[in-house]
Structures are given as structure tokens and as C-alpha cells.
Amino acid sequence: MIRIFLYDLLAKKRLSQRELSRMTGIRANTISDMCNEIAERVSLDHLEKICAALDLSSLEELIQRVPDAPEENAE
């Protein structure tokens, strides 16, 4: 599963989704989808703009792959 930590980062930096939208030029609905982790596609340009606006040193601060829990055998 891919996790997007945008909501937590905005809270930590005391920024609203609207402020980030203004800073980056990314539509507010797109920011909201990322914060709620319902975005199906994320533009590389958007990732770059968000990392720059939030002064992130690594993309992993924003987005990570978290392995799914292994399914239990039904035996």
C-alpha cells in the first residue's frame, strides 16, 4: 500500500490545505485527495512542488510504500 503523509506534514508545519494550494498552484481538490489518501494518481510535478513548498529533503517524508500485512492461511 502507498501511504501519503501530507495531512500530517501540513499539521506539523501548521499549514492549511488551501495555503499549500496557493503556494504550489495545485488545485485544492487535488491536495485534499492526497491528504485523505484517496488520490489514485499523483503527478511528479506535484510531488516536486509539494516537496519544495514544505522544504522536504526526501520524497520518503511525503510518500512511502508500506507492505501489506500477509494474509493468514485459511487452512
pLDDT at 68: 82
CATH of the domain spanning 2-58: 1.10.260.40
Mean pLDDT of 47-71: 93
pLDDT tens, 19-57?
999 999 999 999 999 999 999 999 999 999 999 999 999
Q: Which helix (H) or strand (E) holds 2?
A: strand 2-4
Residue-level length of the chain: 75
How do the domains of the chain map onto residue ranges?
2-58
Q: Which parts of the chain are beta strand (E)?
A: 2-4, 63-65
Q: Which residues pair with 64 in a beta bridge?
A: 3
